[in-house]
Structure 1
Amino acid sequence: MNNFILEKIIDKKLHVNKFKDNVPNGLQIEGDSKVKKIITGVTACQNLLEKALSHNANTVMVHHGYFWKNESKYIHNMQRNRLKTILSNNINLYSWHLPLDIHPKLGNNAQIAKKLNISIKGYILPHVPWGVIQNSITGYEFARKIEKKYKKYPIYLNDNAPSLINKIAWCSGKGQGFIKEAYRFGIDAFLTGEISEETLHISRELGIHFFALGHHATEKDGIKSLGNWLFKKYNLDVNFIDIYNPA
């Protein structure tokens, strides 16, 4: 498939024109005009690029790409090495950020709900859905459920929280800043990827359960689901590679 045609297909699927993002979405770096083999991953780090080359892939598709709004405009050191690898090997680099967090079926937040059997009821903010757990559950039971599904036990805070969780809000990645909005909405628990120093005090004083699973862990399934959709819909050769990241 032509690389620009593929960009248009995915942009349409993810409704890219609806978003104002702090990073370009779509084909960030043009490579071979014909997309032959795709490697997907969370972040376009050097390790993922090297894995793509070892798999003879000419296309890399990620959630975290390059050219962030507040990123340095100088091409030095790490960034130089990454771009050299991409350009010298004629690799296409695609990236979708917010559109892949928010998509109601393929997105990271939708995949969290699917994995943890949360019924989505609505949205506190476009990127902060809320829902209910079918049978109310204790915080420790929910933490063990997260561990079973993600093979990783979350950071769990529960000081002054209710005994059971029924109503929960979540946001993949760096979502800890939305905990107050979620609390005002009346949730019992909040789940996200990252945790900040002040998060303990906020969750304790507001009296809600808080779960932090890791930025990487909460954003693997969106790009995987996009790759699966491309394989099923267009029979493209797509493989996901998980570069270990505990954060």
Structure 2
Amino acid sequence: MTRTELSQYLADFLHVSAFKDYAPNGLQVEGKDEIRTLVTGVTACQALIDEAIRLNADAILVHHGFFWKNEPEVITGMKQRRIKALLKHDISLFGYHLPLDAHPMLGNNATLGRQLGIIDAEAIEEVAQGLLWRGKLDLAVSASEFSHTLENALGRAPLHIGDSDAKIQHVAWCTGGAQDYIDVAASLGVDAFISGEVSERTFHSAVEQGIHYFAAGHHATERFGIQALGRYLAREFDLVHHFVDIINPV
């Protein structure tokens, strides 16, 4: 497919125009016209770009791209090296942030819910552009057991705030840097809230509102959506797809 076709398809498929975001969603760096090999990853870091070059990629598709709000506008240093590598090898870069978090089937929140075995999962549409999700476990489990479920799904142990022996069944979650949705989650009456990142203040919010909190990793919680989207595009448009997981413990 062509670069323009992919850009237009994803704009519609991910409902890009519905979101007010912190970075441009869509084509961020223009490469060759024809796309046959697609590399996906969480963040457009130099390591991902280097691996895409090795794999002879025509395009890279990420969740965390370039040109974030309030970042320096000059193209120097790290930013210059990344963009230079893309332009030198004629590789397009596509980035989709909140639209990928929110997609009802292939988004980060939807795919994380499936990985954790959460049923009756749904976005709370009136909160944060539908980025906060809730659902329940088939059976109530201890917080300790749920920590193990997270660890098995994500490959890293979460930080848990709360009584390890207490039972959990109703859960709310938002991947990535969504720790400040904990107050909304508590108001919903769920037993636990999951996000990727944690702040110092999150501890007090959890304790004082009596809600379990799990910080499961920004990168770790946002690996599944971009993989699912890449597999979907490969299947629909007969593309060669490589997901490249650049290890990030944060």
* TM-score between both structures, scaled by the size of structure 1: 0.96
The match for 1:238 is: 241
Q: 151, 166, 169: which one pairs with 1:147?
A: 151
Note the residue ranges of structure 2 that are not aligned, 5 or more in a row: none
Q: State the 1:113 CA deviation.
A: 0.7
Do the aligned partners of residues 234 and 188 (structure 1) sit closer, same or farther apart at CA in structure 2, a change above 3 Å counting? same
Amino acid at match of 1:40: T
Per-residue CA distance 1:103-161 (angstroms, 9 max, x = gap) = 000000000110011121451621001111110111001001111122211111105x8
Q: What CA distance in whole angstroms lies between the structure 2 residues aligned with 1:163 and 1:238? A: 42
Q: Which residue of 2 aligns with 1:103?
A: 103
- Work out the CA distance in 2 between the residues paired with 1:6 and 1:97: 16
CA change 1:65–1:122 in 2 (3 A) is closer
What pairs up with 1:76-87 in 2 under 5 angstroms? 76-87=76-87
Shift of 1:162: 8.6
Structure 1 position 138 matched with structure 2 position 142? yes
- The question of whether the paired residues in 1 share the 8 Å contact of 2:123 and 2:131 is answered with no
Task: Provide the residue aligned with 1:24 in structure 2.
Answer: 24
Give the secondary structure class of the aligned counterpart of 2:69. Answer: coil
| Alignment partner, residue 194 of structure 1 | 197
State the shift of 1:163 in Å: 2.1
Q: Which amino acid aligns with 2:192?
A: A
**SS of structure 1 residue aligned to 2:85:** helix
Gaps of 5+ in 1: none
- Classify 1:206/1:40 alpha carbon distance in 2 versus 1 (closer, same or farther; 3 Å): same
- Distance in 1 of aligned mates of 2:22 and 2:165: 37
The ranges of structure 1 where at least 4 consecutive aligned residues each deviate by more than 6 angstroms after the TM superposition are: none
Task: Give the CA deviation at 1:74.
Answer: 1.2
Aligned-residue offset at 1:204? 1.2
**CA displacement 1:223-247 (0-9 Å, x = unmatched):** 0000010111111111100000000
For 2:145 and 2:21, locate their aligned partners in 1 and report how far apart those are by CA, in whole Å: 36
Per-residue CA deviations over 1:5-34 (Å, capped at 9, x if unaligned) read 111111111111211111111111111011
Correspondence for 2:184 among 175, 181, 188: 181
With structure 2 as the length reference, what TM-score do the two structures score? 0.95
Q: Does 1:129 align with 2:130?
A: no
CA distance in 1, matches of 2:29, 2:123: 36
After TM superposition, give the deviation of residue 197 of structure 1 in Å.
1.0
Q: Which residue of 1 aligns with 2:41?
A: 41
Q: Does the 8 A contact of 1:64 with 1:96 survive in 2?
A: yes
Out of 121-130 and 147-156, give the one that drifted further: 121-130
Is the 1:162–1:188 Cα contact (8 Å) retained in structure 2? no
Match 1:214 to one of 213, 217, 222 = 217
